[in-house]
């Protein structure tokens, strides 16, 4: 074997190795993208499930005559979970994430104002629109948050 023949073999091996490596890289990138999409779908499902639980909790609060404090805490807990998943979603804009977070913050910081019947109804409607993935839900959330007197109770 000549030196030229040995170099050709090494070059062919290098080319084959680089092609195999490129194909493997493309497969792994595809698997990564697919897994990211599945994770985002799981986050979206959990976000919607928590919104549905919050809607049920608000309706339960509105219909209840008994322990309103416990029912309000359940609303707060469900909204906290929805808020956590909202920040994990990539298909929500920063403004939408902030609107959900501010809604949760108002429930947490201003319970006296949020427990008013008209605000509870506005909260329920906002959550229904968010659950149905309507953009007006984020606008309603912002309007509800803007209607809170943040200097008092």
Instruction: Average the pLDDT over 15-22 and give the result.
Output: 97
Give me the mean pLDDT over the 53-77 stretch.
88
Per cent of the chain over pLDDT 90 is 58
Task: Tell me what pLDDT residue 152 has.
Answer: 61
Q: Cα(78)–Cα(94) distance, rounded to whole angstroms?
A: 21
Tell me the average pLDDT of the chain: 90
The domain limits of the chain are: 43-146
52-72: buried (b, 16+ CB within 10 Å) or exposed (e) per residue? ebbbebbeebeeeeeeeeebb
Residue 65 pLDDT exceeds 80: no
Return the pLDDT at 153: 56
Q: Can you say whether the dihedral through the CA atoms of 8, 13, 14, 18 is positive or negative?
A: positive
Query: Token digits for 75?
Result: 């609303």
Second-level CATH architecture of 43-146: Up-down Bundle (1.20)
What is the pLDDT at residue 96?
A: 87
Other CB atoms within 10 Å distance of the CB of residue 93: 10
32-41, Cβ contacts within 8 angstroms, sequence gap of 24 or more: 40/89, 40/90, 40/91
């Amino acid at each position: 074997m000549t030196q030229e023949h040995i170099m050709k073999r090494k070059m062919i091996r290098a080319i084959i190795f680089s092609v195999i490596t490129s194909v493997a890289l493309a497969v792994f990138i595809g698997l990564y993208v697919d897994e990211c999409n599945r994770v985002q779908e799981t986050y979206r499902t959990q976000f919607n499930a928590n919104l549905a639980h919050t809607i049920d909790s608000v309706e339960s609060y509105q219909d209840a005559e008994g322990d309103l404090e416990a029912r309000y805490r359940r609303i707060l807990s469900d909204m906290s979970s929805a808020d956590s998943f909202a920040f994990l979603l990539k298909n929500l804009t920063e403004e939408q994430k902030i609107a959900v977070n501010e809604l949760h913050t108002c429930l947490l910081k201003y319970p006296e104002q949020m427990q008013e019947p008209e605000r509870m109804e506005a909260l329920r409607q906002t959550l229904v629109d968010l659950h149905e993935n309507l953009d007006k839900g984020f606008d309603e959330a912002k309007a509800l948050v803007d209607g809170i007197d943040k200097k008092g109770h």
